[in-house]
Structure 1
């Protein structure tokens, strides 16, 4: 019998929307949410701004090799459409800034739907092979997923949205530094008033193992 979750669990999920390992961890985060854990996604901007880079052939090959490892471990799909239309796209970029901004738009409009919006963006990229570095593409993905208000706001970003996005990224980076997290995905669990880092490898084993880490 699996160990039950304690009733007062809250988790901050540190992530980047272009992180393949974060995509691989998505089913586990969804299971936590469905089990009643309050999951609050917080972007770190790891691959935005200075972390962005051109999607050249060498990096594309490295990414695809890593993605295949994630697929074998988690069962999450990385399709041929993603490989040909995203990784091998001429003049492609690896820049999570636009997708992070899209998720901030959702967080302002429907904060309880953060994980659903993240899943829609991840599916758009890794399954459908869509360019999630494009604001126009992200607007379309949000609209198709039912986030009309967020899509409208993302289409013409105002200073309030941009400022909120900067604040969320700063909070994510500060929490990473505070907990000593070396990358994403990472979980910051709050239990009985204490905040602690859950090792990222707990997201890639059994759900019972993750629960044990949260209850420890």
Structure 2
């Protein structure tokens, strides 16, 4: 079964859902072998204004909910990336970085997405910055110069926009979302975080379904 994961590296519930999805990919249970394609949804691309303190407080509250629900680590308080002076919550660069790795080293795409998320949420690193994104790529064994060159290129910018457009055409407005290809149809498996048992049950239902969900 082919799965399509629509996510954003700077979406906290996507970070939380990674626990579930990682468990599924590691031990799919009774499901057929799974192939995962990762598509960038575009949570807040091309944001220009710095995050104001009230909005940062609101987002930090969402992060605490994710931490409680999933056990994922978050840097909190003054250490949070949200509190960095002048921080702009633009998710396009991190999304483009994932698309770049998908182009350069497809088998590392999932690991890179998770590494960017961990750097942002747990490590309080500003993953809107090209050098930080290159650090993460280099830590996974990619050549820094190759990554930086591709990341800055127009083809990667265009490919990222195509991801955002495809997500919009699928009618997906929030993340995470997981789709499954079965019998030449796309099935929406989940729109939002669900536990692993629920996810496996839904995939089993897709495997026995006929026609679009």
Tell me, yes or no, if structure 1 residue 48 matches structure 2 residue 29.
no
Q: Figure out how many residues of one structure are paired with residues of the other and give that number.
A: 199
> Contact 1:48/1:95 (CA < 8 Å) preserved in 2?
yes
Question: 2:184 and 2:42 mapped to 1: Cα distance?
Answer: 27
Indicate the residue corresponding to 1:20 in structure 2.
12
Moved over 6 A (4+): none
- Specify every segment of 5 or more residues in structure 2 that has no aligned partner in the other structure, as ranges: 206-213
Give the 3-state SS of the residue equivalent to 1:163 in structure 2: helix
Question: 2:6 and 2:12 mapped to 1: Cα distance?
Answer: 13
Tell me, yes or no, if structure 1 residue 110 matches structure 2 residue 105.
yes
- 1:53–1:12 CA distance, 2 compared to 1 (3 A): farther
Give the 3-state SS of the residue equivalent to 2:9 in structure 1: coil
Q: What is the TM-score normalised by the length of structure 2?
A: 0.85
Q: Give the counterpart of 2:35 among 38, 44, 50.
A: 38
Show CA shifts across 1:89-137 (max 9, x none): 1111111011011111101111122110001101111111100011111
- 1:52–1:33 CA distance, 2 compared to 1 (3 A): farther
Question: 1:70 and 1:152 mapped to 2: Cα distance?
Answer: 32
- Specify every segment of 5 or more residues in structure 1 that has no aligned partner in the other structure, as ranges: 1-8
Give, in angstroms, the shift of residue 53 of structure 1.
Answer: 4.7
Indicate the residue corresponding to 1:78 in structure 2.
74
Select the structure that is richer in helix. 1
Show CA shifts across 1:38-61 (max 9, x none): 111100112102x56521101110
Indicate the residue corresponding to 2:210 in structure 1.
none
CA RMSD in angstroms, aligned pairs only: 1.9
Indicate the residue corresponding to 1:210 in structure 2.
199
Question: 2:123 and 2:200 mapped to 1: Cα distance?
Answer: 32
Tell me, yes or no, if structure 1 residue 185 matches structure 2 residue 181.
no
